[in-house]
Structure 1
């Protein structure tokens, strides 16, 4: 056997199921914490509607990813996260909703 015990365990379907569960749980918390927007006509630009989770096999282990606003028209999640200046020059504080969820989960 070329693979060690740890490699076999990390590559098993039980670990895949665990990573899927945990990444879906984090994505659900992010969706819950994401700010609501004044989107009366479409959800295309809404942060809550543009958060997706998926897993991928990287080398010998499963890695979970959360993609926020893959749609190029919906680019305001990081503005809500870090803050921004509106066209009149007023500064708006960031909400840091992504950072709060990841800190609570102990992720980077």
Structure 2
């Protein structure tokens, strides 16, 4: 199960990267921001399910922006762990909890 979740985490990271680099061309938002995300969700969600809603796509973008180096991600962390980390309002808090979770084995 952990291998499947690790693949899912990588998939979400790559989706976030593609949206940022290809659609937004590195900007915080594409010029047509909301329309882009809603358009992508409208295209992907019927085919692939609720994991591709507009809200989920925003999570993937935030995930990529928070963890821009894919090889630095912890394979023992699930998507729930990463979602908890990216929801923190402060990079220092994120770094603290990341270090704690690494040594203690769990965020939740």
Same fold (TM over 0.5): no
* TM-score interval, smaller chain: under 0.3
What TM-score does the superposition give when structure 1 sets the normalisation length? 0.27
TM normalised by structure 2 equals 0.27
More strand by share: 1
Q: Which has the higher helix share?
A: 2
Structure with higher Rg: it is: 1
Larger relative contact order (C-alpha < 8 A, sep ≥ 6)?
2
